[in-house]
Structure 1
Amino acid sequence: MKGSPLISAKQLGQGYGSRIVFRALDLELQPGVTALLGPNGAGKTTLLQTLATVLPPRQGQLTIDGRVVVSEADARLARRRIGFLPQQFGYEPGMRVRDFVQYGAWIRGLPTREWAEASTIALEYVGLADEAASKMGRLSGGMRQRAAIAWAIVGKPDFVVLDEPTVGLDPQQRLRFRDIIVGLDDTTVLLSTHLIDDVDAICDRVVIMHEGRICFEGLTEDLKALDDPSIPGYTPLERAYMSLLPQEGSNR
């Protein structure tokens, strides 16, 4: 890929109290869909929150589109270009879908005059235009997840961060989700997931974390090339991913 990365992290460190989640982490992200893989406790959610400017870095430097995020004012400016969907997102059951998405526009700092049109565009994109007046609590799980994606992409942010967005979705809903993500042209998408088949289907690149460090960063096809038939798994990508993690009973 050509040009400067939209997101650049150098020697990034993060933690909670005395606990260190990761330190000295380097990462660059450019347009396309990048998967973030790793076992529970690897530090993925903390990294997503840091890159989305929800958590200020404890150490190192975070640069978004050439601008180093140093202050809260820098973070507020950066958030206008970032759509972040946490795994557990909150909503009022009685809130109408269009208001929920417009709330996302407000969170990101979009001008008030743009809320209505931006929300309409986002809902049309995820196929929920007909549900704009429906209440969030009356939506099915899959529809609610699509509303959440509309919340994250309202106003067409340059960087979209999704933390386990397909948890609980059935196969048909996951296929629809894939179509939505693939259609985000020229957007830098960072997708945290445990579902390797989703990665294989829609992701250009893969970042693998384990115990607070990055143990692989590269093209999805390059990860597949590490396929080891002796490792448990059902696909080349799954076996390659597992080969980079310590196996049970191993000292590696």
Structure 2
Amino acid sequence: MLVGKQLSQGYGRHTVFRGLDIDVRPGVTGLLGPNGAGKTTLLRTLATVQPPRDGRLTIDGREVRSEAEARTARRQIGFLPQRFGFEPGMRVRDFVRYGAWLRGLPPDGWAPAATTALGHVGLTDEAAKKMGRLSGGMRQRAAIAWAIVGQPRVVLLDEPTVGLDPQQRLRFRDIIAGLTDTTVLLSTHLIDDVDAICDRVVVMHAGEIRFAGPTDELKALDDSSMPGHTPLERAYMSLLPVEERDR
């Protein structure tokens, strides 16, 4: 569904990753890695927000080679950055409708698509509230509705559970689990979320992919000598250099 071949990306003279290959399949894939691994830059590249410096990006079998092709691809991509902007005075339903407009849905589809997305995240009763009046958890759910409005085939989420309490994180897991027939790439530091809802895992470090495969295959790398409380945590830590494990 979402394939990158020999991707290179960076900022100015700084290269974040070079020659990176990634294949994101239908289902939920967790993207793990320490700060500075390149996860956010990778998500921005896959979302076509930042064109790759080099390499090939293919979405739903179509290579993205121009800005026109990127605009077409974005209709099938829901991207939620870690820090998303919103107008505090904007009502929740209008915020989600704005996401439908950005995705290129026809005007007569904005309202029903927003209603469906808000129902999916359990915010139907808050549709008329202003964004600035929502709790942190509700605001994050509104942002997820913004990302999934119009039922995009690919959903990219950058640290969507930051600041959520345990109950809100459980609700988030239910929301993601309910995205059937969707390709989801979820960047997070919370390994228990990956263990709970992800079919596959990609582990990045210093712009390189150290592992990509089913979650159970990563668990099979469990090393009792590594720090961590679960097989997945210890397996993840075993893929990182010693200096990262000690942070």
Instruction: Show the counterpart of 2:194.
Output: 199
Return the offset for 1:107.
Answer: 1.1
Distance 2:133 2:243 in 1: 43
Instruction: Show the counterpart of 1:29.
Output: 24
Return the offset for 1:78.
Answer: 0.2
What SS does the corresponding residue of 2:185 show, helix, strand or coil?
A: strand
2:89 to 88, 94, 100: 94
Structure 1, 194-203 or 103-112: larger mean CA deviation? 103-112
Instruction: Show the counterpart of 1:227.
Output: 222
1:49 to 44, 51, 58: 44
How many percent identity over aligned positions?
A: 77
What SS does the corresponding residue of 2:243 show, helix, strand or coil?
A: coil
User: Which residues of 2 match residues 170-189 of structure 1 at below 5 A?
Assistant: 170-189=165-184
What SS does the corresponding residue of 2:173 show, helix, strand or coil?
A: helix
Distance 1:247 1:239 in 2: 13
Residue 127 in structure 1 maps to residue 122 in structure 2: yes
Residue 59 in structure 1 maps to residue 62 in structure 2: no
Residue 118 in structure 1 maps to residue 124 in structure 2: no
User: Which residues of 2 match residues 9-20 of structure 1 at below 5 A?
Assistant: 9-20=4-15
What SS does the corresponding residue of 2:172 show, helix, strand or coil?
A: helix
What SS does the corresponding residue of 1:248 show, helix, strand or coil?
A: helix
Distance 1:82 1:162 in 2: 11
Distance 2:231 2:107 in 1: 48
TM-score (norm 2): 0.98
Distance 1:219 1:119 in 2: 33
Residue 137 in structure 1 maps to residue 104 in structure 2: no
Distance 2:162 2:180 in 1: 24
Instruction: Show the counterpart of 2:65.
Output: 70
Residue 243 in structure 1 maps to residue 243 in structure 2: no
Return the offset for 1:106.
Answer: 1.0
Distance 1:241 1:137 in 2: 38
Distance 2:224 2:81 in 1: 35
Return the offset for 1:178.
Answer: 0.1
Distance 1:239 1:249 in 2: 13
The one-letter code of the counterpart of 1:24 is: G
Distance 2:16 2:2 in 1: 20
C-alpha root-mean-square deviation of aligned residues, in Å?
Answer: 0.9
Which runs of 4 or more aligned residues in structure 1 lie more than 6 Å from their structure 2 counterparts after TM superposition?
Answer: none
Q: Deviations over 1:42-98 (max 9, x none)?
A: 000000000000000100000011111010000000000000000000001100000
The one-letter code of the counterpart of 1:68 is: E
Residue 149 in structure 1 maps to residue 144 in structure 2: yes
Instruction: Show the counterpart of 1:3.
Output: none
Return the offset for 1:248.
Answer: 2.7
What SS does the corresponding residue of 2:242 show, helix, strand or coil?
A: coil
Residue 107 in structure 1 maps to residue 92 in structure 2: no
Return the offset for 1:8.
Answer: 0.8
Return the offset for 1:109.
Answer: 1.1
The one-letter code of the counterpart of 2:133 is: R
Q: Structure 1 stretches of 5 or more lacking a match?
A: 1-5
The one-letter code of the counterpart of 2:105 is: L
Instruction: Show the counterpart of 1:84.
Output: 79
Q: Structure 2 stretches of 5 or more lacking a match?
A: none
Q: Deviations over 1:105-143 (max 9, x none)?
A: 111111111100000000011000111100000000000
Distance 2:47 2:111 in 1: 24
